[in-house]
Amino acid sequence: MVPGLLAGKQVVITAGPTYEPIDPVRFIGNRSSGKMGFAIAQAAKEAGAKVTIIAGPVQLATPTTVRRINVETTEEMALAVEDSLDACDIFISCAAVSDYRPIQVQQEKIKKNSEQSIQIELEPTIDIVSTVTNRHNKPSFVVGFAAETQNLTEYAKSKLARKKLDMIAANLVGENQGFAVDDNALHIIWTDGEQTLPLMPKTQLARELMTLIIKRFYAKNSI
């Protein structure tokens, strides 16, 4: 990647999981470690961009000069994204956002009753990346991710269209795959092309992804 290609550009990235509280001590979450998103932040910084990372609960050091906003819930992430979009050129939605949240959050810890099962009713959360692409004043280039356990390309293409993305980075997830591990592979799809990036360290993968994003960003915005 050529350093300086994103000089003067602003990149906003979401990373890590979101947690949706059930009661004061329990939550619905997922296995995202934030490694992929933080590697992308590092790669965007190396390309010369001014970078903001909006991070769910993860235990990772912030790359130097990257602005970090910590959040926990999907609603907090959505608000932080909204507040960070002024002058954003490229938005990258790498966070594993919780798709559902409990309709009612219990104020006290739910007591165990061995005799009874319990039900927790869930409602869909706001779709953050779709909110971004539906804005009147949206970033020039929006990248989403697709985490799938099957039909990777088919589901990713459908998310690319449904969420009105410029590009989608699709990865297979499961046991020791995608989430939390150090290596990953991506199938990148954009409106008129696609490319596979084979299994490699997330730090290197992020640089290769960023090279593709920069190419497509300038192809779209130089007209």
Among 10, 13, 144, 206, binds ligand PMT (CB under 6 A): 144
Contact window for ligand PMT (CB under 6 A) among 32-40, 109-117, 189-197, 209-217: 32-40
H helices of the chain, where?
35-46, 74-84, 128-133, 152-162, 202-221
Among 6, 13, 27, 35, binds ligand PMT (CB under 6 A): 35
Residue 146 binding ligand PMT, by CB under 6 A: yes
How many residues contact ligand PMT, by CB under 6 A? 28
CB nearer ligand PMT, residue 31 or residue 109: 31
Site string for ligand PMT, 151-190 (x = CB under 6 A): --------x-----------x-x----xxx----------
Alpha-carbon gap, residue 24 to 148, rounded angstroms: 31
Q: Using the rule CB under 6 A, is 32 a contact of ligand PMT?
A: yes
> Hunting for tokens 């903001």 — which residue is that?
52
Nearer to ligand PMT, 139 or 178 (CB): 178
Q: How many whole angstroms separate alpha carbon 11 and alpha carbon 216?
A: 14
Cα–Cα separations (whole angstroms), residue 25 to 15, 22, 93: 23, 8, 28
Given the residues 30, 70, 151, 221, select the one marked as catalytic.
30
By CB under 6 A, is residue 97 in contact with ligand PMT?
yes
Q: Does 99 bind ligand PMT (CB under 6 A)?
A: yes
Q: What are the b/e assignments for 23-33, b being 16+ CB within 10 Å?
A: beebbbbbebb
Show Cβ contacts of residue 19 under 8 Å, excluding neighbours closer than 6 positions: 27, 28, 29, 56, 57, 72, 73, 98
Give strand pairing partners of 200.
Answer: 184
Tokens of 81: 């994204």
Q: Cβ distance 14 to 132 under 8 Å?
A: no
Q: In the complex, what is the shortest distance from the CB of residue 184 to ligand PMT, in angstroms, rounded to a whole number?
A: 6
Q: How far is the CB of 205 from ligand PMT (least distance, A)?
A: 9
**Does 42 help bind ligand PMT (rule: CB under 6 A)?**
no
137 catalytically annotated: no
**What is the DSSP code (8-state) at residue 191?**
T
Based on CB atoms, which residue is closest to ligand PMT, 35 or 187? 35
Indicate which residues carry an active-site annotation: 30
> Interface residues with ligand PMT (CB under 6 A)?
16, 32-37, 74, 93-97, 99, 125, 127-129, 144-147, 159, 171, 173, 178-180
